[in-house]
Amino acid sequence: MTNLNRQFRLAARPVGRFSESDFELVESRLAGPNDGQFLAKITHLSIDPAMRAWMDAGHATPVEVGDVMRAIAIGRVTKSRHAEFGEGDFVRGMFGVQEFVVSDGAQVSKINSEEGASLAAHLGVLGNPGMVAYFGLLDVGRLADDDVVLVSGAAGAVGSVVGKIAKIKGATAIGVAGGPEKCGMLVDELGFDGAVDYKRGNLSTELSENTPRGVDVFFDNVGGEILNQGLARLNHGARVVVCGAISRYDSEEAAGPSNYTQLLYKSASMIGAPASDFTQRFPEAIAQMSTWLAGGQLTSVEDTVAGDIEMFPTMLRRLFSGANRGKSVLELGR
């Protein structure tokens, strides 16, 4: 039995800003499942900033030209010859940008839909962005109760969760985002203590005004001038959590943070925090985050667009134009 499958493959490595022509939509027949495999129909594609980094040859494990574009996704099992996955199960894995996937179950997790969270939440607050936020802030950032936390990309999938966890822990949360709408959302809907609109003008002055006690944990998703100016606000012993660099991924400009010498002056550290370092402890984090979600302390900020797989390049572009709020998800065939 074969299924008609459409998938986006990487057609070319972009230099700087990616374009639609860097992807190729390919239609093919998908065989399987064989013994020990299942077939799933993709229902939710996770649209992540890291996708742009995966397209670059300089990434640690880039997507190869000609391969299916890498993506975390949720699917529903439609046929199974695998002992642990049954028809109707919702599963999450690195399934790629396609409509169907055949998998042997490696690195695939079953989603317990009885937890009450939306499927999109399993790609966001209970998925990779949530894990990055949880371990990045608490373990890598070593958050203390009365810390001042500065978060860039604060209206995004990771940043919004970082701010919420900071508040749950009794810390002060200041967000950096683009535009008055996003900044309003941070303060009015998510309970941040302050928001800095990096598009408005004097970033340095606004950061100073919003962090009169300095910054103890700077959780950076953006890089560029925001990282540089945030470094200027560090307190003694501060931790800079390097989570992402969305300002750089889709750009040829790649200036580094000239203020990095602040690390020396402030006995501070800058620490790379990929979620993959903490996979063993994901269950602990998911349990805690689920409790917070159920109790209303944590919010799943979702930006789900229902549509067709052809919308993938447009959805990815939206991330880099800053159009999304919270977790960006392309829901297929609703």
Per CB under 8 A, residues contacting a copy of itself are 59-60, 223, 228, 242-245, 248, 254-274, 276-277
Question: 314 Cβ partners below 8 Å, 6+ apart?
Answer: none
Strand residues in 11-146 grouped as ranges (E): 23-31, 38-47, 73-80, 90-93, 100-103, 109-110
Smallest gap from Cβ 319 to a copy of itself, in A, equals 17
The DSSP line for 144-182 is -TT-EEEEESTTBHHHHHHHHHHHHTT-EEEEEESSHHH
Smallest gap from Cβ 243 to a copy of itself, in A, equals 7
Smallest gap from Cβ 235 to a copy of itself, in A, equals 12
Shorter beta-carbon distance to a copy of itself: residue 145 or 252: 252
Identify whether the C-beta of residue 10 lies closer than 8 Å to the C-beta of residue 67. Answer: yes
Smallest gap from Cβ 286 to a copy of itself, in A, equals 21
Smallest gap from Cβ 188 to a copy of itself, in A, equals 31
Q: In the block, which residue shows the tokens 């790649």?
A: 254
Q: Find the helix packing angle between 128-135 and 282-294, rounded to 10°.
A: 100
Shorter beta-carbon distance to a copy of itself: residue 77 or 243: 243
Q: Estimate to the nearest angstrom the gap between the alpha carbon of 230 and the chain centroid.
A: 21
* Angstrom distance (rounded) from CA 49 to CA 315: 11
Shorter beta-carbon distance to a copy of itself: residue 21 or 267: 267
Residue 188: DSSP 8-state: I
Q: Cα-Cα-Cα-Cα dihedral of 81, 84, 86, 89, to 10°?
A: -130
* Angstrom distance (rounded) from CA 156 to CA 176: 10
Shorter beta-carbon distance to a copy of itself: residue 249 or 312: 249
Residue type at position 238: A
Shorter beta-carbon distance to a copy of itself: residue 260 or 320: 260
33: preceding bond cis by omega (within 30 degrees): yes
Smallest gap from Cβ 204 to a copy of itself, in A, equals 13
Shorter beta-carbon distance to a copy of itself: residue 3 or 260: 260
Shorter beta-carbon distance to a copy of itself: residue 114 or 253: 253
Identify whether the C-beta of residue 86 lies closer than 8 Å to the C-beta of residue 56. Answer: no
Residues in the chain: 334
* Angstrom distance (rounded) from CA 175 to CA 181: 13
Shorter beta-carbon distance to a copy of itself: residue 182 or 266: 266
